[in-house]
Amino acid sequence: MRLHASPSLIALSAAPLVVNSLQLPFGINLPAVLDNRLNSFKSAVSQIQVPSFINKIIDPTGSSPLLSLHRDLVAIPSVTGDEEAVAKFLEKYLQSKGFKVELIPVDSPEHPTKKRYNVFAIPEGGIKAAPILLTSHIDTVPPFIPFKDGLRSVHGRGSCDAKASVASQIIAVEELLASKEVTEDTVSLLFVVGEETTGDGMRHMNTLSHKWEAVVFGEPTELKLAVGHKGLAMLEIEAKGKASHSGYPSLGINANSHMINALYKLDHLELPSSDLLGNTTLNVGLMNGGVAANVIPAFASAEVAIRIAAKTFQEVKDIVDGALKDVEGIQATWKHPYYDPVFCDHDIEGFETMAASYGTDIPNLKGDHKKYLYGPGSILVAHGDNEKIDKSDLYEAVKGYKRIVRGIMNAKSIVVHDPAKEEAAKPVIEAVHVKVEKVEVQDAPANKAEPKTDKEEQVEYVTILPVDST
Ligand SMILES: *[C@@H]1O[C@H](CO)[C@@H](O)[C@H](O)[C@H]1NC(C)=O
């Protein structure tokens, strides 16, 4: 809520915290009579223009483009599947800042009745094929938790994961364009649905013919530049036995014993590690088996998650399958989703680095682009009841994203490929005469035994015609 000031409020500004606590209820419900007074007071003061420095004191969130954008994003519920409202909000917001915005529909079998959109935005005068993309996601995990403003931090679902990244990426691009540090055909923005579940939003982008030179993914990395994140493998193990009285074990087959053998092997398995991402870790997260202490169990099951720090999913799967192949009475089933470890580019100076142990949309976007992973906030609070972000981290992230974009542009001269312009600028080649002086024939190393061809070929003239010449 926006609160402008009046002369009476200016008098109050000596005690800004008093005003703040009225304007930003920290879970306090005002009695109706006070609430009415406050509202008429607010509508009276909203008529009056005040200097911005006073606004900053009495309404720090509303007077900050970054904090108010972040607040508006967090206030809109957008649990995976229900991203329509936040996508429409972003469309309007970005259009008001001069972006050309495309809402890209994403259909999915999980949400057949829902309208879901990725939001793709390019600066006015920019091009779809801009080489640098900043991207994050607009869906959140459940349940929705309302926005709550605090003095230093902001609470609410998505306040960290990943609306803090969304807001700071947008403001960073707005500032880079305003200062003309980047041209409008250099950057674009993409905010996708479905990151928290199947990654369907980002994977949908593979069906469109977009291509980028560098993609900056926004997720909570505590303002560090990620060197990568671990891969994932999940498996379910079932053990079958035969029930009988526990006093007569020879008449039954103990499924739990089979399961214990399997899980013991997995728990003691040597799995690959890497300097960048650390150890591959294996977690037996769920076990079930048997019905009572005096019954030989006929059935047991367990679920295991492996965070892969080195090698590929397939190689780790082979190690695990190998360890389980001699265990009697069990069957292992590999589950979706799974992915290889992801190694990110981190060739930009001035950042601390980190290795993430959570999944992102990075493997869902195909292409040979450079990959950066960076964002405000900590994954440790991201999915919890107390999800929050420090306001100072939001500001720091804007600077961070700007430094990453500058870094990408400095690291190599970014070439802007505009297919439309390149088509128009194609030289028309009539015909080219090439005098071929000499043709060198190299020996293929594998075919050493073959007789040598005569190295001196005949001199000849070749006419090369452009394919489309008529
Ligand atoms: C990786 O595993 C080794 C051996 O178990 C252990 O000594 C080391 O501390 C682990 N490294 C990390 C980063 O956890």
- Is the CB of 279 inside a 6 Å radius of any atom of ligand 1? yes
Cα distances (Å, whole numbers) of residue 377 to 164, 171, 219, 353, 383? 8, 17, 8, 14, 12
Give nearest CA residue, ligand 1 atom 9: 279
Q: What are phi and psi of 278, to 5 degrees?
A: 85, -145
Q: Each residue of 441-455: pLDDT tens digit? A: 444 444 444 444 444
Residue with tokens 């459940």: 142
**What integer pLDDT is reported at residue 395 of this predicted model?**
98
**What integer pLDDT is reported at residue 211 of this predicted model?**
94
**What integer pLDDT is reported at residue 34 of this predicted model?**
67
Q: How far is the CA of 268 from the centre of ligand 1 (A)?
A: 14
**What integer pLDDT is reported at residue 33 of this predicted model?**
67
| Burial environment of residue 47 by CB neighbours within 10 A (0 to 12, 13 to 18, 19 or more) | exposed
184 in catalytic set = no
Residue that wins the pLDDT comparison between 236 and 43: 236
**What integer pLDDT is reported at residue 45 of this predicted model?**
61
Give nearest CA residue, ligand 1 atom 1: 279
Q: How far is the CA of 364 from the centre of ligand 1 (A)?
A: 29
**What integer pLDDT is reported at residue 459 of this predicted model?**
40
Q: How far is the CA of 382 from the centre of ligand 1 (A)?
A: 25
Q: Which residues touch 196 (CB under 8 Å, ≥6 apart)? A: 80, 137, 139, 140, 141
Instruction: Please state the atom number of ligand 1 nearest to the C-alpha of residue 273.
Output: 1
Residue 367, helix vs strand vs coil: coil
DSSP code, position 251: G
- Name the active-site residue from 195, 196, 213, 238: 195
pLDDT over 70 for what percent of the chain?
77
- How confident is residue 415, by pLDDT bands cut at 50, 70 and 90? low
Residue with tokens 């700071």: 168
| pLDDT reading at 252 higher than 80 | yes
Angle between helices 255-267 and 313-324 (to 10 degrees): 130
Give nearest CA residue, ligand 1 atom 13: 278
| pLDDT reading at 427 higher than 60 | no
| Domains in the chain: boundaries | 7-58, 65-229+342-411, 231-339, 422-464
CA-wise closest residue to 70 among 466, 343, 441, 395 = 395
Instruction: Please state the atom number of ligand 1 nearest to the C-alpha of residue 279.
Output: 1
**What integer pLDDT is reported at residue 391 of this predicted model?**
97
DSSP code, position 144: P
CATH code for the part of the protein at 65-229+342-411: 3.40.630.10
Task: For residues 442-469, give the mean pLDDT.
Answer: 43
Cα distance between residue 265 and residue 269, in whole Å: 6
| pLDDT reading at 35 higher than 50 | yes
Number of alpha helices (DSSP H) and beta strands (DSSP E) in the chain: 13, 22
Give nearest CA residue, ligand 1 atom 7: 279
Ligand 1, from 267, 274, 279, 281: best to mutate by most atoms within 8 Å of Cβ?
A: 279
Q: How far is the CA of 445 from the centre of ligand 1 (A)?
A: 45
Cα distance between residue 381 and residue 388, in whole Å: 7
Q: Which of 50-59, 74-83, 320-329, 400-409 has the lowest mean pLDDT?
A: 50-59
- How confident is residue 156, by pLDDT bands cut at 50, 70 and 90? very high
Do residues 225 and 352 lie in contact, with contact meaning Cβ atoms separated by under 8 Å? yes
Task: For residues 217-231, give the mean pLDDT.
Answer: 96
Q: How far is the CA of 348 from the centre of ligand 1 (A)?
A: 28
- Is the CB of 39 inside a 6 Å radius of any atom of ligand 1? no
Look up the pTM and report it.
0.73
Q: Which CATH architecture describes the domain 231-339?
A: 2-Layer Sandwich (3.30)
- How confident is residue 38, by pLDDT bands cut at 50, 70 and 90? low
Give nearest CA residue, ligand 1 atom 6: 279
Instruction: Please state the atom number of ligand 1 nearest to the C-alpha of residue 278.
Output: 13
Helix (H) / strand (E) containing 20: helix 16-23
Q: How far is the CA of 309 from the centre of ligand 1 (A)?
A: 12
Cα distances (Å, whole numbers) of residue 127 to 101, 211, 417, 419? 11, 12, 9, 9
Q: How far is CA 77 from the centre of its chain?
A: 19
123-137 burial code (b ≥16 CB/10 A, e <16): beebbbbbbbbbbbb
| pLDDT reading at 469 higher than 50 | no
- How confident is residue 61, by pLDDT bands cut at 50, 70 and 90? confident
Give nearest CA residue, ligand 1 atom 4: 279
Do residues 140 and 157 lie in contact, with contact meaning Cβ atoms separated by under 8 Å? yes
Q: How far is the CA of 321 from the centre of ligand 1 (A)?
A: 23
- How confident is residue 30, by pLDDT bands cut at 50, 70 and 90? low
- Is the CB of 278 inside a 6 Å radius of any atom of ligand 1? yes
